[in-house]
A and B are shown apart, each in its own frame.
Chain A
Amino acid sequence: MQEEQTTRRRFIVAALAFSGVAAPLGSTWLKSAAAWAADDDAGLDELGRMAQLLFPHEGLDDRVYGGIMSTVMETTTDDQATQAMLDAAANTLDAARETSWLDLGAEEQFAVLQELQDQPFFAGIRETVRFHLYYHPDLWKHIDYPGSSKEFGGYIRRGFNDIAWLPEDE
């Protein structure tokens, strides 16, 4: 039952991400990601680091995570619910230990996230990051996912049936 509720929540939030947060994925997206990329000294702030620990892809540039969170913040300034969710995340993370969360070691940061994973803000941030990260061109490049294929004539001549390692027992 617990399990079922979690899955249910997951999909509801995902659906929200689809219909709501998806909308700003236009020019705003490009602009702010570019602005972020230009800022060489930017270490990850709290939310950026949270995004990274949620979906850690080794070797993926930190700036992808940071860019996602700054895009979310910039494109939702008028959206009180999202802003409240982001504030709650920062405050709750910092209140978890004596030291601010960002100054903790990686393992301790992860442990705090595990403790907080049932808090209401957590699923919201997790699904927002999931959406933006897994539709991010840099992440796609990192995992060898090429995105749109119709302009290349699909995969009919580009390997849709090229698997060669399966056993041929029967």
Chain B
Amino acid sequence: MARQYELNDASVVVVIGSGAGGGTLSNELAQKGIDVVCLEAGSRLTLADVVNHPPTMDARMGWHDKRIGMAPWICKTVGGTTMRWSGATPRFQEHELKALTTYGQFDGGTTLIDWPMTLDELAPYYDKAEDKMGVSGTHGIPPSAETNNYKVLAAGGKRIGYKEITSSRMAINPQARNGRPGCQQISFCNSGCAIGAKWSTLYTEIPAAELTAHFELRTQSMAVKINHDDSGRVSGVVYRDADGTLHEQKARAVAVAGNVVETTRILLNSNSSRFPDGLGNSTGHVGRNYTRHMFGAAIAKMPKPVNYHRGARQTGIIFDEQYHDPERGFAGGYELQSIALDPWGTSSSIGGWGPDHTVFTDNYTHLAGIFITGEDPPESVNRISLHATERDENDLPVPVIEYRDHPNSLAMREHSLKQSRALFESLGATHFWGGDAPVGCHNMGVARMSANPRDGVANRWGQAHDIDNLFISDGSAFPTSAAGNPTLTIVALAIRQADHIAERMTQKTL
């Protein structure tokens, strides 16, 4: 069972974060017999702690440390944001991994690069990730059950000519599998799945790692700084425990998976005389090229009841717009996905007030919803940095988050909302709202992989160009955003990275 390692045991790999990236990497390494200490800032919930009341769950598992700017809506808890996510798990596409080659730079100083790997190279890891996460419609797993809201999406999609429509590609068990039950359509997926039908590292990767006896999870352990030795290799991680006491865990290698804001903060906050601008930052890319997808949302009042609150928050994707054709007035593509929101979520998305607003909320049972996720280009001005003077309750510099939509994203959003409107109106929708959804669920790019060290922070394995025993293991490592939801790719890259780390250790080059 679970091990306990000494603070001065320098043979362990320290993984920072227990979410999609960190939880998966930890388990993959532990399965190979590599000793891992996972530092997790949050505490450990059980399924019994999950109630169907979003504000209560936000208080239990949300990340509330101070930020300046548009903070992403992420979690501080064992399992990270896999406790809150919806489970949509499409693969990225070939042309998206060659973003620069396919699109060229956009006007206004974008910083696109190609991924330092091909889709063929990634495909076997996508297979492993889908199998691990139980993605519906893959590896013999049936499609997800079609909810009312999905049926609206699919019927309207067909009416306006879409063909690539699926209820699958969800990391939610349609039926019992690997010790987890099938989805009961409880519907509060974004506040934790009360029965564990939706994949979260809390009840998959973490307990599996604990069974290996090569793994220790330290909860309420906030990593604040990564130390290095005289040769410039990382040597340990300083963290703050629940009582506020600082400790240093020695390490053979360190992997950072704090979900972009925290990944940036820990790299920048680990500056030293040798690395005055922070770790991995000799080319100044840490914190830059932050992408969070072109997001859009559409809500329509349909002629008859939909009851979109019944069933999984998201089920189903339309892929038809995920291609590159500058004729549409923008580069890259997007996906249309069904989404359901509770009354408050519905009301806040639509925004505004008065009778124009309540025509939607008063007809809650008649609403249908679409969530749009599309490719947004990296720009060096979209970035996370540390405030020069302001510090938070952990005595850490407060992160400053700056993000703006590129005109390409605005054009794409307009197109996607026009399509969403046509889709709903083809079924007789009487009222339509469409707009931005600036919630920062998908976070990518601030410590990206690049073939050329000049263009990024890490190599094709997520290993820092500057420091060979420092790894980036979350969405931060994405060179560009592609269109689809990021987590399947985060997990696939973590599995691939674990293979690389193990191989380097066997070769005694790590």
> Of all chain A residues, which has the CB nearest B309?
A145
Contact B439 A148 (CB under 8 A): no
Q: Which residues of B contact A146 (CB under 8 A)?
A: 309
Whether A115 sits at the interface, judged by CB under 8 Å, is no
Q: Which residues of B contact A159 (CB under 8 A)?
A: 148, 307, 310
Q: Which residues of A contact B195 (CB under 8 A)?
A: 150
With A154-B184, A154-B185, A155-B311 as known contacts, state yes or no: A58 contacts B147, CB within 8 Å.
no
Q: Which residues of A contact B155 (CB under 8 A)?
A: 166-167
Q: Which residues of B contact A57 (CB under 8 A)?
A: 358, 361-362
A-B contact pairs, 29 of them (CB 8 A): A7-B438, A15-B71, A22-B55, A54-B353, A55-B361, A57-B362, A113-B353, A130-B344, A130-B348, A134-B343, A143-B343, A143-B363, A145-B309, A145-B342, A145-B343, A148-B51, A149-B186, A150-B51, A154-B184, A154-B186, A154-B311, A160-B145, A160-B147, A160-B310, A161-B148, A163-B151, A165-B304, A167-B155, A167-B159
Whether A85 sits at the interface, judged by CB under 8 Å, is no
The CB with the most chain A CB atoms within 10 A, among B184, B309, B365, is that of B184
Whether A105 sits at the interface, judged by CB under 8 Å, is no
Contact B438 A145 (CB under 8 A): no
Mark interface residues in A110-121 (1 if CB within 8 Å of B CB, else 0): 100100010000
Prevailing SS type, chain B contact patch: loop
Name 12 extra pairs, CB < 8 A, besides A55-B353, A130-B344: A6-B351, A12-B70, A54-B353, A117-B353, A126-B353, A134-B343, A135-B55, A150-B188, A159-B310, A163-B305, A166-B151, A166-B427
Whether A144 sits at the interface, judged by CB under 8 Å, is yes
Contact B58 A18 (CB under 8 A): yes
Whether A103 sits at the interface, judged by CB under 8 Å, is no
For the complex, what is the distance from the CA of A140 to the CA of B427, rounded to whole Å?
A: 27
Q: Which residues of A contact B311 (CB under 8 A)?
A: 154-155, 160-161
Contact A163 B70 (CB under 8 A): no
Contact of B58 among A7, A10, A19 (CB under 8 A): A19
Whether B435 sits at the interface, judged by CB under 8 Å, is yes
Whether B441 sits at the interface, judged by CB under 8 Å, is no
> Of all chain B residues, which has the CB nearest A110?
B354
User: What is the interface size of chain A, counting residues whose CB is below 8 A from a CB of the partner?
Assistant: 54
Distance (Å) between the CB of B167 and the closest chain A CB?
10
Q: Which residues of A contact B212 (CB under 8 A)?
A: none
Contact B62 A148 (CB under 8 A): no
For the complex, what is the distance from the CA of A11 to the CA of B307, rounded to whole Å?
A: 25
Q: Which residues of B contact A161 (CB under 8 A)?
A: 145-148, 151, 311
For the complex, what is the distance from the CA of A165 to the CA of B151, rounded to whole Å?
A: 10
Q: Which residues of A contact B62 (CB under 8 A)?
A: 18-19
Chain B residues 329-381 with CB under 8 Å of chain A are: 342-344, 346-348, 351, 353-355, 357-358, 361-365
Contact A55 B52 (CB under 8 A): no
Contact A11 B184 (CB under 8 A): no
- Which 3 residue pairs across A and B have the least CB separation, nearest first? A154-B184, A148-B52, A160-B311
Contact A163 B355 (CB under 8 A): no
Whether A38 sits at the interface, judged by CB under 8 Å, is no
Whether A89 sits at the interface, judged by CB under 8 Å, is no
Whether A53 sits at the interface, judged by CB under 8 Å, is yes
Chain A residues 11-61 with CB under 8 Å of chain B are: 11-12, 14-15, 18-19, 22-23, 25, 53-58
Contact A56 B186 (CB under 8 A): no
Residues of A within 8 A of B (CB): 4, 6-8, 10-12, 14-15, 18-19, 22-23, 25, 53-58, 110, 113, 117, 126-127, 130-131, 134-135, 139-140, 143-150, 153-156, 158-163, 165-167, 169-170
Contact B358 A156 (CB under 8 A): no
Mark interface residues in B61-84 (1 if CB within 8 Å of A CB, else 0): 010100000110100000000000
Whether B500 sits at the interface, judged by CB under 8 Å, is no
Whether B53 sits at the interface, judged by CB under 8 Å, is yes
Contact A154 B187 (CB under 8 A): yes
Q: Which residues of B contact A165 (CB under 8 A)?
A: 303-304
Contact B185 A11 (CB under 8 A): no
Contact B344 A131 (CB under 8 A): yes
Whether B183 sits at the interface, judged by CB under 8 Å, is yes
Distance (Å) between the CB of A91 and the closest chain B CB?
20
For the complex, what is the distance from the CA of A42 to the CA of B53, rounded to whole Å?
A: 30
With A23-B59, A55-B361, A170-B158 as known contacts, state yes or no: A134 contacts B354, CB within 8 Å.
no
Q: Which residues of A contact B427 (CB under 8 A)?
A: 166-167
Q: Which residues of B contact A15 (CB under 8 A)?
A: 71, 73
Q: Which residues of B contact A19 (CB under 8 A)?
A: 58-59, 62, 64
